[in-house]
Amino acid sequence: MITAAAHAGFHAALHRLDVKADPSSWVSELLEGTNHAVYVSAKNESEMSFAVAVVDFENGRMAYGSAGHHPQYLQSGTGAIKALLAQQAPQLGKAPVLGTRASTVDLQPGDRVIWYTDGLVEGNDAKGEAIGKARFQRAIRAAKLESSDGAVEWLEKVIEGTVGCKSSALPELARADDITVIALQFKARIAARSDSGAPVAPPPFSPKSEAA
């Protein structure tokens, strides 16, 4: 029931909002719309975490927001890791209004962003040992950034370093809680084009709020 309501709120925002006009506002209103749907259907008896992000590949700007979700991680081409801490809101369904705003970050060529559900860091590895965020971060740092690697190959290294097995074995570990891991590799900005087909320079980056 809650999942169906969340889908309804999500799709309503998708049809109502123009993500190209203002990605940050789109993320914020998507959070609010989905939260309202969950709050009405759950009647404050249940909550769910939620995270959303939109990437403009013309200028590398990513707008993102979260409602009670673990932060995604950004790894630069140099290997440095940063937790992308959005202006945190309570989980969906706990209050009628979240009152949160999207955060933004400027992606550079070579950057990789990773999203994950709590089932990964709050669960146990293949040996039955607790994983935790610190171990997950160490696995991200240890995953070598080979030039030939795409997001899939890099993510496979991160997963193996975190849980001690290949991603194909994750369904066995996910019996206690679902495990989802998503990675984005930002290779280069895509030149915008005018109606005539000529390249158009992207606007300068001007974040509305800095990621912590």
Q: What pLDDT shows up at residue 7?
A: 65
Q: What is the pTM of this model?
A: 0.74
**Phi/psi of residue 206, each to 5°?**
-140, 85
Give the pLDDT confidence score for residue 208 in this predicted structure.
39
Q: Write the CB contacts of 161 (distance below 8 Å, at least 6 apart in sequence).
A: 138, 139, 140, 142, 143
Q: Digits of tens for pLDDT over the chain (212 positions)?
A: 455 656 666 676 666 666 666 888 888 888 888 888 888 887 777 778 888 899 988 889 999 998 888 888 998 878 888 888 766 788 888 888 888 888 999 999 888 899 988 888 887 877 888 888 889 888 888 887 665 556 778 888 888 888 887 777 666 665 667 778 888 888 877 765 555 555 555 444 333 333 33
Strands 112-116 and 72-75, bridge-based pairing? antiparallel
**3-state SS, residue 177:** coil
| CA dihedral for 172, 177, 73, 128, sign (positive or negative) | negative
What is the spatial distance between Cα 157 and Cα 118, in angstroms, rounded to a whole number?
Answer: 19
What pLDDT, on a 0 to 100 scale, did the predictor assign at position 212? 32
What's the confidence (pLDDT) of residue 63? 92
Q: How far is CA 30 from CA 12, 46, 60, 101, 175, in A?
A: 9, 19, 21, 11, 30
